[in-house]
Structure formats: structure tokens, C-alpha cells
Structure 1
Amino acid sequence: MKYIYTSNAHLWSFPLELYVRDVNFFCFNWHPEYELTILLKGKVTLCMDGNIHKIRENDVYLVNSNRGHAVVSEEKESTALVFHFSPEYFTQTEPSHTKLEFACISNQTNRDEQRFVALRQYAAQMMLAALFDTPSSRFILRGAFNMLLGTLLSGFPVKQSPMIESPRDRKNMKTIQTVTDWLEKNFDKKVTLGAAAKVARYNRTYFSSFFRRNVGISFYDYLTRIRFRHAMYQFNNTNHSLTDIAADCGFPDLKTFSSYYKKTFHEPPSVQHRAIDTSSFAPVRENERIYLDTSASDIEEKLRDFARLNPPVPSSQLKPEVTPPDKFDRIVALCEQLMAVAKQSC
């Protein structure tokens, strides 16, 4: 089984990571690498740059370096192909390509455009090549990666951000991180906007707009999603009652939890909870990524569908290619010349 591909020092110059995961983890985060995500199955919501994007199956989005973002699944089984790579891959080829920011996010109106098709194709080729540790697969992986970078540069709006982030930007991100870390430790308690504002050292009114501007959703919406994520972990991995789960995760009552569950999954939690056999779940730690086996039939089939340049043509429809006589004569003449050269060298 293959779960994750991480770059090897002797093959790659900078960090690179490629994997398929279950979109179950919700938190606000940022990292120095670019993050290219292709949704293989399901529905998710992306919060980024103060905006909310509805991501659907086959959609592609790129998170730029050090850009704050959060993703939450809207369905039970949302699956994504995720690719992290260092900005230095651009600068090693072209030194002037520093701090590049791409506008790359698809939706129902443009997801079938050739540029997005190409990104899905090259990312899938990389993931499939990573399944096999052979010399040829390494060439395919590197070649597809270079084509993916070329597609980003040629197919999407790109700008060069300032070389150094302003102290204000760094301070804002640090403040958000402090608050979200605090929420992770206190989500199961009675949390108020005023208490969080004190953690951020802002007044209540300013903090409310500050949080929405930097995270993309309101403070209470973020808190509810954190509570719901913890509740879903208990829901899927314990035998606790729904009432206990709601109370343990900070929901004021079972009705509030059930309403949010039904809004997200379009059915009451009691339906799924009765059907779950917790003994069938592989043990996982809460708040960790769940990597999926990329060689599983459904995932590999999806990747191969993305990676295929053209749909296969049935053999019955194939027409034999006829070489024109003049072209054939030139080929024969060339072969004779090569044979003559070979004899002279003997």
C-alpha cells in the first residue's frame, strides 16, 4: 500500500510532498510551501483570503506560500489529492521568479478549461509514478512536475509579491495562530467572543471584524466547525451517545449538534450513528491527517482518468497507418546510409 510520497534528497533539490487524504481535518494554518489540491470526491468549503469558495469534485485550487487557509468537508467522504512543493523550484530555474503568487482556483464554469485539465493530468501522473520506485517512474515524476510548473506560469494570472512580508502581516498571522491554538484547547468550554478578544488583546468589536478579515469566516462559525470536527472524531471512533458527544465537544445541547450535522450531511446523526461499527475503524489520533491508499481501485481509477491524454480508441476503430511511397523510399535510403557507415567503422 502506498500512502505518501516525500522527496528524496538525492533526487530533488527542495522539499516536495504528494498524497491522497480524507478531508476530515479543519484548522486555520499556513506554510511556506505551495499547496495544490484536486478534489477527487465529495464537497468541501475553502476559506482563504477572506473569501469562501465552494469546491466540488474535480475542482483544483492552489494555496500560495504562507497564505492562511482552512478547509472543511461538506460530506462524509471527501477525498483530495494534495501536493506541497517549495517556491524555490521556480527560482532555481529562473532567479527572478521569487515570491510568485498565482490566481488558481476552479469552479463549475471553468473547471473543464484546458489549463485545469492539464494540472489534474500532471498531478495525477506524478502520483501514479510515485507508486513505483523505478528509474523510469522517477523520470516521469520529474517530467510531469516540470510540466505542471510550466502550466502554472503560462496558464494562470501571476504576480510577484513583496520580497518581505510586512511586520503587520506577520503580527496578524501570529495573533490568529494564538487565538486558534487557544480555541483548540478550550473548544469544549463556554467560549465567548469577548474571551477570545482578550487573548488577542483587542476590543471585542474590532476583534470580530479582524478575525473574519483574516480567516474568511466569523469567529463563532470557526468555533462551531472546530467543535464539529472533534465531535465527528468521537462520532466515528467511540461508542459515546450523541448527547455525550455534543456535551463533550462544547455544543450547548444535542439539538444544536444535530441541526449542524443535518445541515452538513443532509440527514440526522442518529441514522449514521446506528449504522457505525466502531470495531471496523482503524485507530487514528485526533487532529491528524488521514492518508488514503493511493493504489486503492477507486482512487487509482480516478488518477488514471486524470492522467490519460486522450480517451482510449477501441481497437475495432483503429485504422492502419499507411506510409506514403515517397516517405518509405527516404526511410530505406537513410537505413542504407546508416548500414554503410556501420560497415566502415568495423
Structure 2
Amino acid sequence: MKAYHENRSYNSTLPFTPMLLRNFSFLAHWHNDLEFMYVAEGSIRAGVNSESRLLRQGDMAISCSGDIHYYDSRGLESTILIIVFNPRLIGYPGGWPQEVRLSSPFVESSGKPPESPEALLSAAAHDRITRMKLEAEERPPHYELLITGLLYELCGLILRSIGSKPAEPGRDRRLGTGLTAMQGALDYLEKHYSAPVTLDEAAREAGMSRFHFSRFFKNATGLSFVSYLNHIRVNKAEELILHTNRTLTDIALECGFTNVRTFNRVFRQFRGQTPSSLRR
């Protein structure tokens, strides 16, 4: 798992990336780009803002601009298709959708009749995403136009099938304030994971009470504050172990662990092995 406010870069002039991933987990993060995830096989837990679902084959998670979202495959088997793209490709450089919000960030088609709106959207999404992935990989002439057209079509189908609700200034303002505070908290942890960050400190950074922050954080990320912070620290430590010759003690201290004993315990808890086993 990884975590951050993601500023995406793309390998081509087209701000679009398709991915086929197996047993994928990713810590709660957010970005302005749109991210559509389709479950091709198996099942995976997904969260978008304060909602979470166990998604199965044919289901989707739709993360709009600024949504805090995560994927969790622990104890599960899955193959997923993900596309990430800049909303300017569909004419919304400031974020999509505008002035409305989706009725739900999830499309749950598993177990539904083939003629149901959810099943029809699932089949259409799988077709469009698969075609876009093939175009992006092979890059035949004018593939950029074709991908852009398919994105317009897919976004239109999502709005038509899922539906949208008019913006509710009061509710959306409260939700937006909470999400903005949580975005700031995630950014803060990404920047200060090496320091002895506490729950109280993070709550103050978010402008919330300890209790409210703890509850909101768990709903938005699917993890407790301590577990999320330790995931970041273990991720950073693993990178340093694999790509530097620094001692494990130095790495442990740089990544925010107070001693090697705690580092070994937490690392084994998340990776199923000790840090030293990565260098054998």
C-alpha cells in the first residue's frame, strides 16, 4: 500500500493511464484526476469518501475529482482494471462532475439480472475500458481521439445509469469541509511520517476533535490512524531497504520508529517477514 496526495504524471502526451492489477491494495489517497476501477475477477474492498463496499466481479468503484479512495485486497483474491485520466480530456479541467454529485460511487452488478441498469453499465464499462487499454498499449494512428471519445461515452453512460443529484449547498459544504480536512491530514502524514506524529496532533491539523477525527479518519481510509501511519512508515522503510545500503537501525529511525524492536514487529505484521529478510 502507498499513500499520498497524488500528482500524477503520464508516459505520453495523453493524460490517461490504464492498469491491470492482481491482488492490489492502495492506501487512501486523492487527486484531481478521475479513477474508475472495474473488478474483472474475484473480490476487493474499496472505499470512496465515507462509503465502503466489498466489490465482486463486474462491480465498479468510481472516484471523482478530489474523492478520497482506497483499495484493500488483504485476505482476498482479485484482478482489477483501473483507468486514471485528467478530467480535461472530457472538457472538465476543474473536475468532474460539475454542480452535481453521483448518486453512488459504486456500481454493484453482481447478482443482478443481465437487463438491470447496473449489469448493462458493467458490461458497457468493461467493453470501453478494455478497448481503451488496448488502444493505449498499441498506439495505432489516432488512438488519442479514440480513447477520448470512449471516455466521453463512458462518463455519459455512468451519469445516465447511476444518476446524479443536484448539489446540496449545506450538506455538500459540510461533507466538503470534512474531506478537505482529511485531505490535509493525509498530506500531513505523508510529509511528517518520520516524526513522532500523534493522533491529537493530526486532529489539530485537521481542525477536529480527537474523537471526531478518529471516527472520520477510519470511515474515509478504512484504517485506524495508527495503522495508516504505520503502513506509510513500512512502505518507506521497504523502499530504503531494497534500494540503499543503509543500516536497518538508521532506516527504522528515519521512518519514524522509535527502536528496531518496534520496527521489526510492525514490519512483520504488515509484510509477514522481518526487514532483514529482504537483504538475504
- TM-score between both structures, scaled by the size of structure 1: 0.57
Offset, 1:273: 0.6
> 1:238 & 1:79 partners in 2: Cα distance?
32
Q: Determine the structure 1 residue equivalent to 2:102.
A: 101
Deviations 1:169-204 (CA, angstroms, capped at 9, x unpaired):
343233223333322232112221122233334443
SS of the equivalent of 1:4 reads coil
Offset, 1:118: 3.0
Q: Does 1:134 align with 2:145?
A: no
Q: 1:1-346 counterparts in 2 under 5 A?
A: 4-7=11-14, 17-20=16-19, 26=27, 28-31=29-32, 33-38=33-38, 46-53=46-53, 60-71=60-71, 81-86=82-87, 89=90, 98-101=99-102, 103-105=104-106, 109=110, 113=119, 115-130=121-136, 131-135=138-142, 137-138=143-144, 140-154=146-160, 156-162=161-167, 166-265=172-271, 267-270=272-275, 273-274=278-279
- In structure 2, relative to structure 1, the CA distance for the partners of 1:259 and 1:159 (3 Å cut) is farther
- TM-score between both structures, scaled by the size of structure 2: 0.67
> 2:229 & 2:48 partners in 1: Cα distance?
17
Q: Determine the structure 1 residue equivalent to 2:6.
A: none
Gaps of 5+ in 2: 1-9
Q: Determine the structure 2 residue equivalent to 1:10.
A: none
Structure 1 range deviating more: 178-187 or 102-111: 102-111
Offset, 1:119: 1.5
> 2:38 & 2:110 partners in 1: Cα distance?
16
How many residues matched? 255
- In structure 2, relative to structure 1, the CA distance for the partners of 1:237 and 1:20 (3 Å cut) is farther
- In structure 2, relative to structure 1, the CA distance for the partners of 1:256 and 1:80 (3 Å cut) is farther
> 1:253 & 1:56 partners in 2: Cα distance?
41
Conserved in 1, the CA contact under 8 Å of 2:25 and 2:74? no
Offset, 1:144: 3.2
Deviations 1:55-109 (CA, angstroms, capped at 9, x unpaired):
688864211333222446759xx98632225389489xxxx98524153546794
SS of the equivalent of 2:229 reads helix
> 2:234 & 2:59 partners in 1: Cα distance?
25
Offset, 1:142: 4.2
Conserved in 2, the CA contact under 8 Å of 1:48 and 1:216? no
Structure 1 range deviating more: 191-200 or 140-149: 140-149
Gaps of 5+ in 1: 8-15, 276-346
SS of the equivalent of 2:65 reads coil
> What amino acid does structure 1 have at the position aligned with 2:30?
N
> 1:246 & 1:79 partners in 2: Cα distance?
33
Conserved in 1, the CA contact under 8 Å of 2:231 and 2:270? no
> 1:271 & 1:57 partners in 2: Cα distance?
38
Conserved in 2, the CA contact under 8 Å of 1:197 and 1:207? yes
> 2:261 & 2:106 partners in 1: Cα distance?
36
> What amino acid does structure 2 have at the position aligned with 1:188?
S
Structure that is richer in strand per residue: 2
